[in-house]
Structures are given as C-alpha cells and as structure tokens.
Amino acid sequence: MLSYRINVIGAGSWGSALASLLAQNNNETILWGRDSDQITEIKKTGKNDNYLPNIQLDKNLNYSCDFDSICQCDALVIATPSKSLRYFLKRIKKIVNKPPPLVLTAKGLEPQTNKFSHQVVGEEMGDDFDFAILSGPTFAIEVAHKLPTATTIAATNKKLSEKLVSVFKSDYFRPYSSCDIMGVQIGGALKNVFAIAAGICDGLHLGNNAMAALINRANIEMLKFAKIYDCQPETIMGLSGMGDLILTCSADMSRNRTFGKKIAGGLDILKFNRENKTTIEGINTTDAIYNLAKKHKIQMPITQSVYNVLHNNLDPKTAVIELMNRETKPEL
C-alpha cells in the first residue's frame, strides 16, 4: 500500500536520486521536470543519463511535466538551485490554496537578495508555513548508487521533521531529525565558500597539513557566524555542518572545490563568470557571508581571503601568505 504522496520538483541529479529513493520506500512519488523531451526519455528508459549516467531509477517512480498536478500531495520536495526557489514558491501559491509542506534541498542563498531559504519562504508563504531543510554530506551520484549516506532534516516543527525522517529513511539513507532550521542552512551554505578555499589549497599543492588546518579553521568560522543567529553549536558540529564541510573540501565531485582548483591553476574569474552556465553556489555565498560578517563585525579570515581572490584580484599564493602571517592569537 502506498503510504505517502511526496513529489519532487527538479529532474537534475539530486532531484532524481531523491525521487528514486522515495519511490523505492513505497511512497507515491512523481518527479517533475520542465523539459518534456528529457521526461519522455526518462519514462522510456527509466534512466536520467544527462545527470545520473547508467543508473536505473526505481520502477515505481512516476514522471510528469504538468506542474499543476504535482502540487496535489502530502509534501513537495524542491530540488533546484537557490536562485529559483522564489519562482517555484510563487507558482505553487497560484495553484493550491493550502500548499503542502515543502522540503528544500538547495545549499546557498538567493543571489538577488542574499537571503537564506527560510527568509524567502517566510516572505512568499507566510511565517507560519511548515517546511523543512534537507542537508548534509551528500553527493547525488552516491545516493543513486545506494551507498550509505547520513543527512539531517530540520523542520519548522518536530512532528514534521520526524515524519519526513520516516519517509526518507532506507537501508542506505539515514536522516536525523532537527528543528535548528538556521543552523542547518548555515552549514550547507558556508561549506561552499570553504570548498573553494580547499580547491585552491589542493591546486597549489600546499599539502595535507594545510588542508587539515583549513577545514578546522573553516569550522571555527562557521561557529562564529552561527552565533549571530543563536544556532545550536551541535548543529554546526553535526552532519549538516562539519560533515558537509569535510566532504565538500575533500572530494573532487564538489563543483566548488573544482572551481577553486581552477583558480589555483590561473583561471580567469571574470571570463568564467561571463561564460559559465553551471551553478557554483559558493561564488554568491562568498559575497553574502563576507558582507554579513562585516556588518556584524565578525572576523572570518578564510572567507575574506576567498572574497578578495574572487573580487579584488588577490593572487591565491598571496592570500595564503597573508593568512599565515596574521597576528598570533589563542586557538579558541
């Protein structure tokens, strides 16, 4: 018996992996995509080779390009980049008088406003609207391959978080419940900034000692930033914070880390920004976090260095020297 109607917006790698997981868990799930040719091909082959090559999606998964029909459900996953969240919220509002709870998966801030996802949801859906954030150390391809994965689902209330944990949980996907919405978002967003730094570190061949120090001090910057919003420090030390930071800084599948390596190799950043079509969440996030830290008078030297490399033409090697030559201080 099908237990829960939970649909997924976004037929990219993450949306497809989550939709297949949900269908396998005996939920009634539809994967929505805007490209009718893509959806037709996935229906025919059971594969989304553009994003998850040679992976068979669950046979119980359904597909659609009809946006109106997918909004009639118990919960709705939005697996699209941060820049399109507001657009989809507006569409959902027009279709249903009482929208279902949402599960947001993007790790970043809205580029136009530098607002976190919960702020965008509050503006569009109201402050009392129920939603959740799914975040943690996850690569879509590994979830699609059914490799062991742990993550966090933070929701506006405990009941929703626990319900979603039961809906997503499988023998290879283990979610943990939380109500620290802001803390989970901070980890997911800031790790993109530090992944760029990690890519630069690796690209300059600075060694394992430097990488370990970078990840540790990046986590300290996360904790400092989280204090602004009274987040739980345990969240920053958990899967959505430290866990995601370690994964994104150490694995070449990270787009932000790869971008950092290209910078170390002499990438023309201005040209890249003009021509690149792939979303690098860390670029916009660096701008937003740098300015918020400046506003609240918080010292975040790694974030500042990445910002200066991206926007002030600071040579990456010079950035490393400046970080190492900062005035000495107690560790904590």
DSSP letter string over 69-127? HHTSSSEEEE-S-GGGHHHHHHHHHHH-SSPPPEEE---S-BTTTTB-HHHHHHHHH-T
pTM above 0.85, yes or no: yes
What digits encode the pLDDT tens for the residues 255-286? 999 999 999 999 998 888 878 777 788 999 99
pLDDT range class, residue 2, cuts 50, 70, 90: low
Nearest CA-CA partner of 25 in 172, 177, 239: 172
What digits encode the pLDDT tens for the residues 186-220? 999 999 999 999 999 999 999 999 999 999 999 99
What digits encode the pLDDT tens for the residues 141-198? 999 999 999 999 999 999 999 999 999 999 999 999 999 999 999 999 999 999 999 9
The domains found in the chain, sorted by start residue, are: 6-179 (3.40.50.720), 189-324 (1.10.1040.10)
Q: Is the pLDDT of residue 36 over 90?
A: yes
Structure tokens at 119: 């702020």
To the nearest whole number, what is the mean pLDDT of the chain?
Answer: 96
pLDDT range class, residue 19, cuts 50, 70, 90: very high
Active site residue 191: yes
Catalytic residue, chosen from 107, 115, 163, 191, is 191
Q: Could you say which DSSP state residue 229 is in?
A: T
Nearest CA-CA partner of 287 in 108, 84, 87: 108
* H-helix or E-strand spanning residue 47: none
Nearest CA-CA partner of 52 in 304, 228, 253: 253
What digits encode the pLDDT tens for the residues 48-79? 999 999 999 999 999 999 999 999 999 999 99
pLDDT at 306: 98
- Contact between residue 140 and residue 129 where contact means Cβ atoms under 8 Å apart: no
- Catalogue the long-range contacts made by 202-209 (C-beta closer than 8 Å, 24 or more residues apart): 202/257, 202/260, 202/261, 202/264, 203/260, 203/261, 203/262, 203/263, 203/264, 203/265, 203/316, 204/264, 204/316, 204/317, 204/320, 206/320
Q: What are phi and psi of 265, to 5 degrees?
A: -85, 5
pLDDT at 187: 97
pLDDT at 247: 98
What digits encode the pLDDT tens for the residues 99-128? 999 999 999 999 889 999 999 999 999 999
* Cα 123–chain centre separation: 21
> Residue range 298-308: average pLDDT?
98
Nearest CA-CA partner of 152 in 239, 219, 236: 239
Percent of the chain residues past pLDDT 70, beyond the cut: 99
Structure tokens at 293: 């830290």
- Scored b (16 or more CB within 10 A) or e, 41-63 reads bbeeeebbeebbeebebeeebeb
Calpha distance 54→16 (Å, rounded): 13
What digits encode the pLDDT tens for the residues 225-264? 999 999 999 999 999 999 999 999 999 999 999 999 999 9
Torsion of CA 107, 111, 115, 120, to 10 degrees: -80
- Scored b (16 or more CB within 10 A) or e, 83-110 reads bebbebbeebeeeeeebbbbbbbbbbbb
Strands 149-155 and 75-78: unpaired
pLDDT at 33: 97
Calpha distance 285→327 (Å, rounded): 27
Structure tokens at 73: 């459900």
- Contact between residue 8 and residue 79 where contact means Cβ atoms under 8 Å apart: yes
Calpha distance 198→191 (Å, rounded): 10
The residues pairing with 104 across neighbouring beta strands, listed in sequence order, are 78, 133
